[in-house]
Amino acid sequence: MSTEPTSLARLSMSLPAELFRQLDAMVEERGLPSRSQLIAELIRHALVAHEANVRPEETIAGTITLVYRGDRGSIRQQLAKTQTDYLKEVISSQHVFLEEDQSLEVLLVQGPAVRLKELCDALRSIRGVHQLQLVSTTALLPPLHDHSEDESAEAAAKDDAEVVPVKKGKRGRAAA
């Protein structure tokens, strides 16, 4: 799903008066130049959520933001273990201490939508997690590792490797 429109299409819509007022207030509060920009953003969010529901194997990227109490038992260890269980999906983690012994953690994630939902459910189930939100997009991170290049490099290294006989010294150790 591209975020850059190559061409524009006009849309006309009718809204209840109160919803229209709230929309205008939101546009003004965010300092956006037009309603169209806000509506396009809201539609993109809805489309990503829809994509994750109807195509759970589709790869998505995003962030998981969670707030939790750091003084509750072994919550940090449980969070770390859960992230380790989803090592292929968790790209990085940023942790900040908040007031009143609360912590904010942001995970950068990418993987099949179904796996990210499972990760969110596993994190939510940890006692002491107060808030959790997944914000996702269909725009993906570039491949971190190209396995075909890794395999080619390994094969080339094996071909280039030569066997060198090792001389043993008096005590059976390799001589310099």
Write out pLDDT tens, residues 37-68. 999 999 988 888 888 888 889 999 999 999 99
pLDDT at res. 107: 98
Local structure of residue 175 (DSSP, 8 states): P
Global pTM reads: 0.67
Class of 56-141 in CATH? alpha beta
pLDDT at res. 50: 87
Domain extents for the chain? 16-54, 56-141
Neighbours of 90 (CB within 10 A): 19
Low-confidence residues in the chain, pLDDT < 50: none
